[in-house]
A and B are shown apart, each in its own frame.
Chain A
Amino acid sequence: MSLPLRDVMGLALAELGDRRPDVVVLDADLSNATRSIHFARRHPERFFNMGITEANMVSVAAGLATCGKIPFACTFAFLLALRAADQIRSLVSYAGLNVKLVGTNAGLSGFGDGATHQSIMDVAIMRAMPRMTVIVPSDEASVRWAVAAAAEHTGPVFIRVPRVPAPAIHGSETRFELGKGLILRQGSDVSIVACGMMVSRALRAAELLHATGIEAEVIEIHTVKPIDTQLLVDSATRTGAVVTVEEHNRFGGLFSAVAEVLAEHAPVPIECVAIPDRFGGSGQYEELLEECGLTVQNVVEKAKRALSRKGHRGANAAEHGHLSRFI
């Protein structure tokens, strides 16, 4: 664990700029916080600070894209998803332009600043944009890959970048591919499907489950859209129970994406570890994760619950209290 992932992103952008003169970067007076400043220092002629004008920034990026540039528009994830939502819809998604949207302070990682600076609904919004590719990286290697992959891919891309460091998950042997999930650990009892900062927690949960005799398969979905349908269906069919794990509201994010796939192709019991339709707040990052039910222990419990529902075909849902908690 070393660099905050936002710095990894900024450095990856700077390196991308070395290789590709068509890459330009925009920021909305947050280059010091998103760390796009790494690119700005290396390529000042291709860096445009728009001031605090997110809606304008995304529209300027769209204009640049029509001229063959590959613009990366950087700001906090919530500002992209919410303040610039219509600009992204009209000029990036609908217009199908080659704009890359980099949202930092993903999830609860803007911890001390509180709920206003945290982003718990961005994946839901971006996923609902036609033509949008949504990437949620989990560690340094996957952030570096995401930046490069976004530039290689023609079309709109949203990358969700945490503010904080993350334990290394991937070595040089990992072969990332857009739209392809990764099996990080094989298992036959339950599938744990995770993204972003929760991937390392999912792996730790699998170890704890192993100690109790439960073999969990851990799948990383770095590309939440388009999602790896085949991998999810194969795994769910083999294990017969699924838990999704994400640092996002339970509505519209990874849980929804996985449930959409499995409801259609391989209906099995699905549990979710996600933010229970509430806001974060100020505190230490780990404290917030705990408060929102996003701990390793939460993953273990939900995995066991999913296992216990195997074969019961939902008859015991009420008995577990599923129906009463959120309705």
Chain B
Amino acid sequence: MTGFNGQDLQRIAWELRRTVVEMIYRAGSGHVGGSLSVCEMLAVLYFSELRVDPRNPNDPDRDRFILSKGHAAPALYAVLAKRGFFPESELWTLRKIGSRLQGHPDMCKCPGVEMSSGSLGMGISFGIGVALAGRLDGRSYRVYVLTGDGELNEGQNWEAFLVGAKFRLDNLAVIVDYNGIQLDGSVQEILPLEPLCAKIAAFNWHVVECDGHDVCDLRRALDEARNRRGRPTAIIAHTVKGKGVSFMENTHEWHGKPISDEEYRAALAELAEAVL
């Protein structure tokens, strides 16, 4: 998709943030911290990178975006609605009985969702399957998997890093939302990942770092991944958990908790100022 410049993409990211806060506030529960940290990635992917068509969501040639960190579902729903996969009015049904917008994404229910996720650690493997099928069928689509940093605690990711390298899947890119905080505390405290880039590089992946809140830097990383032949790419996107709402930033307490009326008003006020 073209026609969106950096300023447009940044604006979209901030609009997603407002939607995410509104959705979780109305739902009465949800994971706000890790949803706010991925908004630029989703804006860049859905409005400048992915070849997807909301009118033909099952096109076999479409690019695939796989949200492995399923708890960022509100952000995914927000961008899918904005991109036209379903009406934006449906966003307020999040977590409600009978809704297509489950607490974690359900590919059987929600248009545009490529994988049912929620239980962590499965997205890279799933993406490998999609990438292998694309190669078998001679299709040129690309596969993008977004994982959390805490999610990388799960051993299956490291199985998948081994396997992705074995098959030299250069049609696959993994983006790590490196916000440094997981449910119980900081990544450094709970289960240190560093040196993360060196680790993944040692698995024979191409590794590129970027500022996960800078849409131009994200574009550069995605371009680099697309042009890298012979091996899959991991994009380590440095982010801030709870980005955009001062009292939600950089604290595990906002991994997943309900937003009160007062917090909701304060958050929206901050986000209103932030929009370009």
Residues in A lying within 8 Å of B, measured CB to CB: 24, 45-46, 48, 50-51, 53, 55-57, 59-69, 71, 86-87, 89-91, 94-96
Contacts and interface: CB of A to CB of B under 8 A. Distances in A.
B119 interface: yes
B126 A63 contact: yes
Contacts of A68: 60, 133
A69 to B, nearest CB: 5
A224 to B, nearest CB: 24
Contacts of B37: none
Leading 10 A-B pairs by shortest Cβ distance: A63-B129, A59-B125, A67-B133, A53-B159, A60-B129, A56-B159, A63-B126, A64-B129, A63-B130, A95-B116
Contacts of A91: 115-116, 122, 126
A53 B116 contact: no
A318 B161 CA distance: 58
Contacts of A62: 115, 126, 129
11 contacts: A51-B163, A51-B166, A59-B125, A60-B129, A60-B163, A62-B115, A63-B115, A66-B114, A86-B119, A87-B122, A91-B122
Given A48-B132, A91-B126, A56 B160 contact: yes
A68 B137 CA distance: 10
A59 B129 contact: yes
Q: Is chain B's interface secondary structure helix, strand, loop, or mixed overall?
A: helix
A319 to B, nearest CB: 48
Contacts, number: 101
B134 interface: yes
A45 B108 CA distance: 30
Contacts of B117: 90
B116 to A, nearest CB: 4
Q: Is chain A's interface secondary structure helix, strand, loop, or mixed overall?
A: helix
Contact of B163 (A24, A50, A69): A50
Given A60-B163, A63-B128, A69 B133 contact: yes
A60 B131 CA distance: 9
A212 B162 CA distance: 62
B129 A61 contact: yes
A250 to B, nearest CB: 30
Contacts of B129: 59-67, 71
Contacts of B116: 90-91, 94-95
Contacts of A67: 60, 129-130, 133-134, 137
A68 B141 CA distance: 15
B122 A64 contact: no
Contacts of B134: 67
A284 B204 CA distance: 45
Interface string B179-218: 0000000000000000000000000000000000000000
Nearest to B114: A66
A28 to B, nearest CB: 10
A63 B107 contact: no
Nearest to B143: A63
Contacts of B256: none
B258 interface: no
